[in-house]
Amino acid sequence: MARYGIVMNRISPAMVVIAALLSLAACGKSEKSAEAEKEAETPGLTLKAEEVKSLGLMIEPATAAQFTGRITGYGVVTALDTIAQADSEFLAAQAASAQSQAAAARARSLSTGEEAAISREQLEVAESKAAADAAALALARRKTEAAFGMHSPWRDSATRQAVMRRLASGAAVLVRVTFPATGGAVPKSLEISRMGTDAKSWTTHTIWDAPADAAIPGRGFYALVEGSDLAQNERVIAAVPTGTPQMGAKIPAKAVVYGESEAWAYRQTGSTTFLRTKVDISRPQGDGYFVDTIKPGDKVVTDGAGLLLARETNPSTEAGE
């Protein structure tokens, strides 16, 4: 018994140490397993803090925005010489008609009575000239209406002079736009935007029907745009607002990445967690997009989203690559 007790005393410390090591190993494995399970359950891409830093991510909050549906068309700034020529022809015809009408009126007054100053033949010549000039004026008016519509804002002399002065000075431009499909009344407002990277836009409320263009299907309008720097013959994009404004968020264009035939943006849902979110880029807004799958204030990755997509689709990609 004494010998057995001695053996037990010698073995017990070793067994205690081994048991402790096995226990620690089991705890370590369980903690790692729990951590792995927690990471697997967290939606999105979870990185280490040093990986986030090495990727150089830039994050901005999405801003609140509203979007109104619209019908888009295309247009062109009418050349000033086209307007000036039509205006000149009309004014010349108007002046000639006024002069001949006055001459005919004088001839009629001078051809009456016993002491007529002019013969009946001279009166007929004056009246014939007045009728011809009146017909020429009517033709010039119809040509103007055929070119610029029947409801142009320069139908009276005072308005005509004011509009032509603004057009001649460059303070306003005349834009002809065509929409593939729009019906009903003339729109109350139009948004005219420059094409290309400079997406500057102007809103106008002076709009009227334009004659149909045989070369372009759809309905056309003329719009007088004030205070723009649009050049003559410049191509523009026109939009008519429709429907009720929608509330959502605006994200920068650089936050959008493309993969799996879809457009995505990454939201930061934790200090090192990023969730790929599908976005609709069919509603551009300035230098970004209006979206309803991201809320205002959500933190969005603006620089480095492509690197996150590469890490998510190819987990073997290193942070430094």
4 has a pLDDT exceeding 50: no
* pLDDT, position 173: 95
Residue 202: how many CA atoms within 13 Å on its side-chain side?
17
pLDDT band per the 50, 70, 90 thresholds, residue 97: very high
Question: Could you give phi then psi for residue 275, rounded to 5 degrees?
Answer: -110, 125
- Confidence (pLDDT) at 111: 84
**pLDDT above 80 (res 301):** yes
Is residue 236 packed enough to be buried (19+ CB in 10 Å), middle (13-18) or exposed (0-12)?
A: buried
Has residue 35 got a pLDDT over 60?
no
Q: Which residues, at least 6 apart from 195, have a Cβ–Cβ distance to it below 8 Å?
A: 235, 236, 237
96 pLDDT above the threshold of 90: yes
Tell me the domain boundaries of the chain.
43-67+247-313, 72-241
One DSSP character per residue, 17-52 reads HHHHHHHHHHHHHHHHHHHHHHHHHS-SEE--HHHH
Angle at 143 between CA 138 and CA 146, to 5 degrees: 125
Residues 283, 317 contacting (CB under 8 angstroms): no
Backbone angles phi, psi at 304, to 5 degrees: 100, 5
Chain center to CA of 307 = 29
Summarised one tens digit per residue, pLDDT across range 128-170 is 999 999 999 999 989 988 888 888 888 788 888 899 999 999 8
- The CATH number of domain 43-67+247-313, selected from 3.40.50.2300, 2.60.40.10, 2.40.50.140, 2.40.420.20: 2.40.420.20
Identify the DSSP state of 227: S
* Averaged pLDDT, 203-223: 88
